[in-house]
Amino acid sequence: MYRSFENGKKRRKRDSLIKEIVLLFAVCVISIAAVTVLSADVALRIYARSNVFTVVIDAGHGGKDKGASSKSGTSERDINLAIANALAREFEAHQVAVVMTRQTEDSLASPFSLNKKKDDMNKRRQIIERVKPDLVISIHLNNFPSDTSVRGLQCFYDKSGELSQKYATAVQTEFNKSGLDINRKAKTGDYYILDCTEYPSILVECGFLSNPAEEGLLKTPEYQHILAYYIASAVVKTQLNINANIV
């Protein structure tokens, strides 16, 4: 009887200790999550208050949404992010404030979302609206399997934005005269990321994965840097010209 009582006492003590450990773990997880969200929110509000020229760089697709794919299996998702990262470095070298919509290969959608694509795009819109940027640049790749000879960068802008058209035209012109065998005109585009907010927005299709030669280039850090250099140069020059005219 005494031994049974002692065993029960030990068991209750052990169960109590387990509950305390579980509770402490839960508190730690919640605290870490709260700090992470707060830090991100503070960073976004700092950018929103800043007088520095601010760009949101949007690497298209993410997670299971790999975007376009080449015959060899190259996915748009990964190259978009590599170019976006290179572009961020170029802008930061020009003292331009940069906010990325995604920094990993993952989607922005909640794992519990029933419509992950819609949730992902909505999260991108929310980031843009919180940052209040001077410009949004969405990075994508093209695909045209029915004619694998088609290649070259194409820039799009939201149809209602005069500033967007200026930036898109500047980027397209920069590439047309770059010696990269590109000769296109900037066009209006019916894309959610261009029309979901009031902020000037352009979408840059950086090349065609369906063209084997261009696919090979797009996979190299050297060419990704070239693309980033010309995009950033065009945007910075245009921004300086706009500021000069305002003054």
**DSSP states of 127-161:** HHHHH--SEEEEEEEE--TT-TT----EEEE-TT-
Determine the pLDDT at residue 15: 58
CB 205 within 8 A of CB 156: yes
Same domain, 111 and 34: no
Q: Compute φ and ψ for 155, nearest 5 degrees.
A: -110, 135
Residues 163 and 120 in one domain: yes
Higher-confidence residue of 24 and 153: namely 153
Same domain, 221 and 101: yes
At residue 22 the predicted structure's pLDDT band, cuts being 50, 70 and 90, is very low
Quick: pLDDT tens for 162-177: 999 999 999 999 999 9
> Any idea what the CATH number is for the domain that residue 102 is in?
3.40.630.40
Phi–psi pair at 8, nearest 5 degrees:
-65, -40
Work out the average pLDDT over 132-141.
97
| More confident position, 239 or 243 | 239
Answer whether residue 187 shows pLDDT above 60. Answer: yes
pLDDT score for 7: 54
Cβ neighbour number for residue 75 with a 10 Å cutoff: 17
Is there a single domain that holds both residue 73 and residue 186? yes
Confidence class of residue 51 from pLDDT cuts 50, 70 and 90? Answer: low
- Element at 24 (helix H, strand E): helix 2-49
Mean pLDDT of 103-125: 89
CA 153 distance to own-chain centroid: 18
Q: Which residue has the tokens 């898109």?
A: 168
Per-residue pLDDT band for 247 (boundaries 50, 70, 90) equals very low
Domain that residue 193 falls in: 52-246
pLDDT computed for residue 14 by the predictor: 56
Angle at 188 between CA 182 and CA 190, to 5 degrees: 120
Q: Where are the beta strands (DSSP E) in 60-192?
A: 97-100, 135-142, 154-157, 187-188
pLDDT at residue 37 greater than cutoff 80 = no
**32 pLDDT band (50/70/90 cuts)?**
very low
Closest CA to 67 of 87, 84, 47: 84
> For residues 237 and 173, is the Cβ–Cβ distance under 8 A?
no
* Cα distance between residue 223 and residue 211, in whole Å: 15
Domain count along the chain:
2
**Cα-to-chain-centroid distance, residue 126:** 13
Residues 165 and 203 in one domain: yes
192's tokens: 């959610």
Handedness of CA 92, 198, 108, 234 (dihedral sign): negative
Q: Are residues 130 and 116 in the same domain?
A: yes
- 161 pLDDT band, cuts 50/70/90, is confident
* Same domain, yes or no: 30 and 140: no
Residue 231 pLDDT class (50, 70, 90 cuts)? very high
Q: How many residues does the chain have?
A: 247
pLDDT band at 151 (very low <50, low <70, confident <90, very high): very high
* Three-state DSSP class for residue 83: helix
Same domain, 59 and 81: yes
Residues 24, 87, single domain; the answer is no
